[in-house]
Amino acid sequence: MIDLTLNYALVKKFIVKFIEEEVKSNKFDHALLGISGGIDSALVASLAVDALGKENVFGILLPYKLSSKESIEDGLKVVENLGIKYEIIDITEITEPYFTKEKIGDKFRIGNFLARIRMSIIFDKAREFDAIVLGTSNKSEIMLGYTTWYGDMAAGIYPIGDLYKTQVFGLSKHVGVPESIIAKKPSADLWPGQTDEDEIGTPYSEIDQILYLYLEERKTKEEIVELGFKKEDVENVLKRMFATQFKRTFPPVCKISQRTFGHDFLYPHDIFK
Amino acid sequence: MRFKISLAQINPFLGDLEKNLVKHLEFTEKAIVEGSKVVVFPELSLTGYTLRDLTNEVALDADSDFFKPLKEISKNIDIVLGFVEKGEDKITYNSSMYLSRGEIKLVYRKMYPPTHGMFEELRFFGRGNSYKSLATDYGKVSVIICRDFFHPTLLSLAYLDNVDFVFAISNMPLRGLKGEKPQIQETVETASSTYTNFFGFFVVYVNRVGFDDGLGFYGGSFIQSPTGRKIVSAELFEETIVTGTVDTDDIYKKRTSFPLIKEEDRLLFVKNVNRVVGGLDD
């Protein structure tokens, strides 16, 4: 078992600085994020409050008719404990007419659509509040591509984008995320009873170690299996990672001119810093 | 000789020369108030790090009028800083500058710009090809830049050159947050302890803070004596100025109690280097 524990006091300090500075570099004073009731958004909200002050952080709760009762309760717990401003917008009325009209029953289509509608509302509300959108994706789900492209991945900055899920749990305990949120099984909550680990087919404890060994220790697939990990878990993780590479890169631009974004227009992101 | 050195652990504005000039003058004023003889800024302190296509837009001739206010203030204190140099050879360099008594005394071009993984310096900068040192009224100094510090070959030149102070100015991004200190900080401090111990000079290490495009620079600037003692350390992640008093007697004491330099045979070293790398004597 590889210990992925970090020095969470230092990690917290570093991410708080990151949020504080990158929000300013992007010319914002406020930040906004979707609050799902899960651990990732609870953690980012807490770090954002430390960085920007509670008066500058906005939470949006976006339940759907199939969202679990705990998700809404836990989401409310997050915003109320932190004392941030929030709104609740039920997306059932917005999404149902489309599902009905198009006769959509496929849960993956429904799930992706919900994620992208939430994204649309989050960005619209960000405009209303003059806020940057904080991404709540963690390294495990980004590397597995277990996210909706232009859905929950859409954000201005990724404060916890380089933390494995295991480390998200560790840091959440350190910053005092409510226990009920830490204790429950991670879920995208796109349909009743959904859990990340059932859907992915490998538990996060295994996923994170396999990712760590492959990415940071630069072990090969065979070497990871030799270390005692199940071949099907290693293959599952690596296959998911490479199959979703398009989500982590800029879309290919057909280069024609002498200078092209995505190829050789190489200004930094933080150009206004 | 005892005197003070100030470490200006700043967070530069990315690509904004004017704002960074103001910051340099402010921090230099603070160092003057502290009574320091030298103020040291990090690598690319006048421009920030992740410049990419901004690199050539912020490049300066070493004799540019831009440096006038810095030359002026250097009548009161020596200044070490980092900038993007527009070379007379039409190549852009990641360079350091030493100003003293109203003049630019030294310009050094980074010899090992890293280009791998997250680093892409050779895409935008040329490679310097000359180790340099400078005689000052408090001893001989060399100014090296970031990755240079991880090349013991370069530090060996400073040792053979009988340098008293190595100013290592850096933009070292953080990676590894498992231990008590960032892992990269451990690497830097281990290297410094080795160099100060075996080469018998002071290491004055100045790293920036802040974030460029998500890369975070950890700070943690310090002065380490040849005796191994940390004279001063700046905190992590915070823009700050810290000042320490150095005593050049430490160098003499170290080199007489552990007289490696006396045992050194420079010509023998050169002969062997030539043999190993296939030089003229091969």
Cβ atoms of B86 and B61 closer than 8 Å: yes
A50 touches chain B (CB under 8 A): no
pLDDT at position A191, please?
82
**Helices in A53-153 by DSSP H: which ranges?**
69-82, 92-101, 107-129, 139-144
Q: Which domain holds residue B43?
A: 2-277
Cα B17 off chain centre by: 20
Q: Is B46 inside any structural domain?
A: yes
| Confidence band of A271 (pLDDT split at 50, 70, 90) | confident
Residue B89 lies in a domain: yes
Cβ pair B211:A21 closer than 8 A: yes
Q: pLDDT (tens digit, 9 = 90+) per residue, A45-93?
A: 999 999 999 999 999 999 999 999 999 999 999 999 999 999 999 999 9
Contact between residue A4 and residue A167 where contact means Cβ atoms under 8 Å apart: yes
Number of domains chain B is built from: 1
Does residue B139 form part of some domain?
A: yes
Q: Quick one: which H or E segment has residue B108?
A: strand B103-109
Judged by CB atoms closer than 8 Å, whether chains meet at A273 and B14 is answered as yes
Residues B150 and B184 sit within 8 Å (Cβ to Cβ): no
- Cα–Cα nearest to B188, from B35, B4, B42, B6: B42
- Whether B27 maps to a domain, the answer reads yes
- The Cα of B47 is separated from the nearest Cα of chain A by a number of Å equal to 11
Question: What confidence score (pLDDT) does residue B240 get?
Answer: 98
Q: Which residues 157-186 of chain A have a CB within 8 Å of chain B?
A: 157-158
CATH code at position B21? 3.60.110.10
Q: Tell me the residues of chain A between 66 and 125 that have a Cβ less than 8 Å away from chain B.
A: none
For residue A272, give the chain B residue with the closest CA. B14
Tell me if B204 sits within 8 A of B3, measured CB to CB: no
Please give the pLDDT value at position A193: 85
A273/B contact by beta carbon, under 8 A: yes
> What is the overall mean pLDDT for chain A?
96
- Whether B163 maps to a domain, the answer reads yes
Whether B232 is in a domain gets the answer yes
Q: What is the pLDDT of residues A240-262, one digit of tens each?
A: 999 999 999 999 999 999 999 99
CB–CB of A153/A147 below 8 Å?
Answer: yes
pLDDT at B280: 59
Distance from C-alpha of A63 to C-alpha of A69, rounded to nearest angstrom: 9
Q: CA A243 to CA B186: how far, in whole Å?
A: 37
Whole-angstrom distance, CA of residue A21 vs CA of residue B185: 21
φ, ψ (nearest 5 deg) of residue B60: -130, 140
Cβ–Cβ contact A5 with B under 8 A: yes
Between A21-35, B39-53, B146-160, B260-274, the lowest mean confidence (pLDDT) is in: B260-274
Mean predicted confidence (pLDDT) in B236-264: 97
Task: Look at residues B226, B235, B87 and name the one whose alpha carbon lies nearest to residue B162.
Answer: B226
How many other C-beta atoms lie within 10 A of the C-beta of residue A120? Answer: 14
3-state secondary structure of B83: strand
Q: Are strands B215-218 and A57-61 parallel, antiparallel or unpaired?
A: unpaired
Coil, helix or strand for B207? strand
Phi, psi of B61 (to 5 degrees): -65, 145
Closest Cα in chain B, distance from residue A91 (Å): 33
Apex A123 CA angle, A121 and A129, nearest 5:
100
- Cα-to-chain-centroid distance, residue A119: 12
Coil, helix or strand at residue A101: helix
Check: pTM over 0.80? Answer yes or no.
Answer: yes
Name beta bridge partners: B217.
B173, B210
Q: Which of A162-176, B152-166, B265-279 has the lowest average pLDDT?
A: B265-279
| B282 is a domain residue | no
**Residues B212, A18: C-beta atoms closer than 8 Å:** no
CB distance A7–B216 less than 8 Å? no
Residue in chain A nearest B209 by alpha carbon: A17
Closest CA in chain A for residue B15: A271
What is the pLDDT confidence band of residue B279, given thresholds at 50, 70 and 90?
Answer: low
Contacts 24+ apart (CB under 8 A), A147-154: A147/A247, A148/A111, A148/A112, A148/A115, A148/A116, A148/A119, A149/A246, A149/A247, A150/A116, A150/A119, A151/A112, A151/A115, A151/A116, A151/A118, A151/A119, A152/A34, A152/A115, A152/A118, A152/A119, A153/A247, A154/A119, A154/A122, A154/A123
Which of B16, B56, B211 to probe by mutation at the A interface, max A CB count within 10 Å? B211
Question: Between A and B, how many residue pairs show a Cβ–Cβ distance under 8 A?
Answer: 62
Res. B281: pLDDT tops 60 = no
Give residue B181's pLDDT: 97
| Best of B54, B177, B213, B236 to mutate (most A CBs within 10 Å, chain A) | B177
List domains and CATH numbers for chain A.
Answer: 8-187 (3.40.50.620)
- Average pLDDT of the segment spanning B176-199: 97
Q: Which residues of chain B are within 8 Å of residue A157 when distances are taken between CB atoms? A: 214
Alpha helices for chain A (secondary structure H)? 8-25, 39-52, 69-82, 92-101, 107-129, 139-144, 165-175, 179-183, 196-200, 204-215, 221-226, 231-243
A17 vs B51: CB contact, 8 Å cut-off?
Answer: no
- Can you give the pLDDT at residue A1? 86
Which chain A residues are closer than 8 Å to B13 by Cβ? 273
Q: B60 to chain A nearest CA, in Å?
A: 19
Residue A23 has pLDDT above 90, yes or no: yes
DSSP state of A163: S
Q: Measure the CA–CA gap between A217 and A224, rounded to whole angstroms.
A: 10
Q: Is residue B201 part of a domain?
A: yes
Q: Is B20 helix (H, G, I), strand (E, B) or coil?
A: helix
User: CA A23 → CA A26, B153, B179, distances in Å?
Assistant: 5, 41, 28
CA distance B181 to A234: 32
CB distance A10–B53 less than 8 Å?
no
Which residue of B lies nearest to A10 if distances are taken between CA atoms? B177
Per-position DSSP letters for B236-274, written without gaps between them: BS--EEEEEEEETHHHHHHHHHS-HHHH--HHHHHHHHH
